[in-house]
Structure 1
Amino acid sequence: MSADQRWLILSHGFNMDGRAASQTITDKIPYLLKAGIKPTVFSAITGIQDQRFLHRQFLAWGPSAFRFDFRHWFANQYGRGIAYKIMTGLISILLSPFIALEKLCLGYSSQWSWAMPAFLHGLQLIRSGHVDVVYSTGGAWSAHLAALWLKKATGVKWLAEIHDPMVIRSSPEDIGTAIPKNRDARFRQYLERQIVNHADHVWWFTEGALHYAKQRNPLLNTAGYANGFVVLPGAEPPGGLASPKPHVYSSKLNLSHFGSLANDRSLSTILKALSALLKKYPEAKESIRIHAYGAALDSLSIEAIKKGGYENVLIAHGRLEKDPQTGKSGRERVVQKMQDADVLILLHGNDEWCAEYIPSKFYEYLWTGRPIWGITHRNLQLDGMLQDRGAYLSQVGDDRGIGATLEKIWLDWKNQGLIEPKWHPMGVDQAVVRILTETK
């Protein structure tokens, strides 16, 4: 692709501190600028407005998306104190009947309505001759919907970046062609077909995601349809990290998890293995600490804590926001905690879609130089990247194997012989090179 291209980037969550959907695109911006791309960004009001180029932020038009966006906007402006609780509570009460009506009539995920202002403002910009390429990225699929409308209305060149699989399969035999009962799932299935039919280029973040998309859309990569390929998103050195911090053993074995938790991606898996370990090494309870950053604990973890008496073992720190005293961003605070860990926990989940998904935190973990304990599910690509760099590896559902891995970590730590991973991080520069090469 030639330099000086004017790109309209549609990203609902652009510049939202600590959000994977945001980092995936915002980390690319310096490399796009260096390559001569002239971006204009349309996003929701949830992030910080970028000053390097034209960045326009729009409120979504639907009530559920308005409530979501307002909460994040208010937190950015005024923090999450008493005023936040009062205002967001009041907005929720006022909008609740309209949200219920929206879900009853449509049943789509909340951010769908952001596509409408993005389309109308994008249409004006394209017709005024200021856009050569539309690049939709998500995250929220409203960006792809707006780009589809713009493509149909103007014929503009369209690049689509799909973060997570749009069609969720139920088993290895299911390729995702059956009509879902859920209305949002039906629309995502439709939207994937439309992307293949109308986008010029589309990429996914794993080989598995591309494989199954091709199974559902056999015309992908044929004349007249989208060119589909894989881009490994990588990550910029979090918090400006330039080199791994030398590891120092302390009196505690600190296992740290970063990111969201759910019953299908639960730290109860670790606690179950810990129960088995303590039968053999009872003294380990005083030495092992499991830290959870970035999200509330899932219900299975809470139940396991109560059942095993692990209140002092599993510590939930919540989401790390910008620290007004030090000025450190949430992302900078996160990388500091990552480097303080002895082992970083990577929970993959147990759903079928794990075959098409690599947690974004994996790419940030690679920059820390700390060993990773990956508990993965049906993803040979992820397993291979972990093994190539040196990691502890277990498989979801293999309780004996997970227990054996925790025991190995415990013994390695006691002997001060934890795995020293290979320093082989994956930056965002390679992703931009791949995109520009494929779409030129």
Structure 2
Amino acid sequence: MPDKVKQTWLILSHCFNMDGRAASLTITDKLPFLAEAGVEPIILSGVSGDRDKKFKHYQLIPWGPAGFRFDMRHVIASHLGRGFVYQILVGLMGLLLAPFIAVERLLLGWQNQWSWSLPATLRSLWLIWKYNPTVLYTTGGAYSAHLAGYWIKRLTGIKWIVEVHDPMVKPGRVPTTRDEKINGYIEGLICRFADLAWWFTEGALKGARQRHPELGDRGVVILPGVAKPSVSGSYKRGEQMIISHFGSLSDTRSLQPVVKAVHTLLEHNPEIRSKLRVHIYGGTIDRLAKLEIQKYGLEDVFISFGRLERSEVTGMSGREQVLARMFQADCLLLVHGTISDCSEYIPSKLYEYLWTGRPVIALTYQNPQLDQLILERNGYVASGDNSGQILAALTAAYSDWKEDHLPQPGLPAIGVDQAVHSILKLVR
């Protein structure tokens, strides 16, 4: 880590201190390393996460009705859970706000969180006057932080550094909707006015530079990594091979190809049915995969555990329980999707997987950088749209498990410290 820089940074992130959320972990995991290097962070965030007790942290409610409803649903759930009272309160709030949300969408058509940029800008101006930070750091996720960052940069001239989580313009697509257009517009503002901007993949940076050549060498790639888990676990081979998937699933990131491959594998080797299980954490099995599971009668093979919440018995948070189960899995399953975004996107869950030392079975799509990260750590890679490759990867992994020689990663995990080191070096 570079020598202590002794600076105050103002950090804007709508999503912050939300248990297990990638958009939150990307910044919260960096704070201890920034503080260790002499940076005093002042955080401005939404209200959907917990207030930080270690650093100066201000929480703001979006001024728009859609953003207000979005954030308050999280606040209500965190205090009351998602039971009957939650349903009543959220329903009433939605009913009262519906006319105003309709007007907002009719006039703008932007994502829910856009209006958080308004109070964030005003509060930031006050914080800059009070604390005189040397750097404004916006991160997202939601583009509201970047929109506020642009306004603050233009009003104050403060050094503005930007962390772009996901591609703001879909690869190979001209923005058509109003929300897509504002995303593209804000990407342009970042490329023109940010003093430093970084993306998480080589493909995302390449796309941004093609659209905005003026970005030049102010744009770089920094792998985000994740902090070393606070919870560890030990692996013990059991009577069944457990392949575990963690994270959300959808029509565009579906387990359907895995279900089909497992069906084919069991058709060829029916005797291994009792030996193979796929565990799913973090949400429900996606619609397309459910249909395939029902079609082939694989309900005993694919088992969903849903989203793990804080345990009253052990006191472990949802994230801590998830991490413990990652260490216990035989193999970890990564589903990338098969849409154009995949060429510019690496699932943040991969970095958590790498800390466990368990082999990764990855279904990727048009992303050589992601393939390399997994292959150089002795994982199994298949193209998400190639059923033959998926079957081959699952067959190879099962064979290695059966012979009790699943591979070990040849390289260390990717921590947050390397990202912070790169950021500090570039800012200085």
Deviation at 1:323, TM superposition (A): 1.4
| Runs (5+) with no aligned partner, structure 1 | none
Give the match's secondary structure for 1:166: coil
Give the match's secondary structure for 1:315: strand
Once the two structures are overlaid, the 10-residue window that deviates more, 336-345 or 284-293, is 284-293
Q: How does 1:274-423 map to 2 (within 5 A)?
A: 274-422=262-410
Deviation at 1:320, TM superposition (A): 1.3
Alpha carbons 1:366, 1:423 under 8 Å: kept: no
- 1:153 corresponds to 2:155: yes
Alpha carbons 2:62, 2:118 under 8 Å: kept: yes
Alpha carbons 1:238, 1:331 under 8 Å: kept: no
Deviation at 1:418, TM superposition (A): 1.9
Once the two structures are overlaid, the 10-residue window that deviates more, 87-96 or 15-24, is 87-96
- Cα distance in 2, alignment partners of residues 221 and 143 from structure 1: 22
Deviation at 1:94, TM superposition (A): 1.8
- Cα distance in 1, alignment partners of residues 189 and 167 from structure 2: 15
Deviation at 1:129, TM superposition (A): 5.0
**Match for 2:140 among 132, 138, 141?**
138
Structure 2 counterpart of 1:410, one-letter code:
Y
Once the two structures are overlaid, the 10-residue window that deviates more, 348-357 or 78-87, is 78-87
Q: How does 1:235-250 map to 2 (within 5 A)?
A: 235-241=226-232, 245-250=233-238
- Cα distance in 2, alignment partners of residues 297 and 308 from structure 1: 15
Give the match's secondary structure for 1:167: coil
Once the two structures are overlaid, the 10-residue window that deviates more, 135-144 or 123-132, is 123-132
Give the match's secondary structure for 2:213: coil
- Cα distance in 2, alignment partners of residues 200 and 147 from structure 1: 11
Give the match's secondary structure for 1:196: helix
For residues 325-380 of structure 1, give each alpha carbon's deviation from its aligned partner in whole angstroms, at most 9, with x where no partner exists: 21111111011111121110011111112111110000000010111001111111
Alpha carbons 2:231, 2:324 under 8 Å: kept: no
**Match for 1:271 among 224, 245, 259?**
259
Alpha carbons 1:355, 1:377 under 8 Å: kept: yes
Match in the other structure for 1:27: 29
Alpha carbons 2:376, 2:411 under 8 Å: kept: no
Structure 1 counterpart of 2:180, one-letter code:
A
**Match for 1:203 among 198, 202, 210?**
198
How large is the Cα RMSD of the aligned pairs? 1.5
- Cα distance in 2, alignment partners of residues 239 and 130 from structure 1: 34
Give the match's secondary structure for 1:323: coil
**Match for 1:90 among 89, 92, 106?**
92
Match in the other structure for 1:47: 49
**Match for 1:101 among 100, 103, 120?**
103
- Cα distance in 2, alignment partners of residues 54 and 7 from structure 1: 11
Match in the other structure for 1:187: 182
- Cα distance in 2, alignment partners of residues 251 and 59 from structure 1: 50
**Match for 1:220 among 215, 218, 235?**
215
Deviation at 1:247, TM superposition (A): 2.7
- Cα distance in 2, alignment partners of residues 53 and 274 from structure 1: 48
For residues 57-100 of structure 1, give each alpha carbon's deviation from its aligned partner in whole angstroms, at most 9, with x where no partner exists: 01111111111111111122222232222212221222222222
Alpha carbons 2:231, 2:323 under 8 Å: kept: no
Match in the other structure for 2:223: 232
Once the two structures are overlaid, the 10-residue window that deviates more, 399-408 or 355-364, is 399-408
- Cα distance in 2, alignment partners of residues 403 and 141 from structure 1: 39
Give the match's secondary structure for 1:202: strand
Q: How does 1:423-438 map to 2 (within 5 A)?
A: 424-438=412-426
Q: Give the TM-score of the pair, scaled to structure 2.
A: 0.96
Deviation at 1:198, TM superposition (A): 0.9
Deviation at 1:417, TM superposition (A): 2.3
Alpha carbons 1:371, 1:391 under 8 Å: kept: yes
- Cα distance in 2, alignment partners of residues 346 and 436 from structure 1: 31
Once the two structures are overlaid, the 10-residue window that deviates more, 344-353 or 285-294, is 285-294
Alpha carbons 1:369, 1:422 under 8 Å: kept: no
- Cα distance in 1, alignment partners of residues 313 and 71 from structure 2: 26
Deviation at 1:422, TM superposition (A): 2.8
- Cα distance in 2, alignment partners of residues 324 and 195 from structure 1: 44
Structure 2 counterpart of 1:228, one-letter code:
G
- Cα distance in 2, alignment partners of residues 285 and 92 from structure 1: 47
Deviation at 1:324, TM superposition (A): 2.3
Give structure 1 regions of 4+ aligned residues with deviation exceeding 3 angstroms: none
For residues 6-31 of structure 1, give each alpha carbon's deviation from its aligned partner in whole angstroms, at most 9, with x where no partner exists: 11100001100100000000000001
| Runs (5+) with no aligned partner, structure 2 | none
- Cα distance in 2, alignment partners of residues 255 and 321 from structure 1: 21
Structure 2 counterpart of 1:155, one-letter code:
G
- Cα distance in 2, alignment partners of residues 77 and 335 from structure 1: 24
Percent identical pairs in the alignment equals 48
- Cα distance in 2, alignment partners of residues 213 and 92 from structure 1: 37
- Cα distance in 2, alignment partners of residues 343 and 59 from structure 1: 41
Give the match's secondary structure for 1:237: coil
Aligned pair count?
426
- Cα distance in 2, alignment partners of residues 439 and 337 from structure 1: 38
Alpha carbons 2:377, 2:408 under 8 Å: kept: no
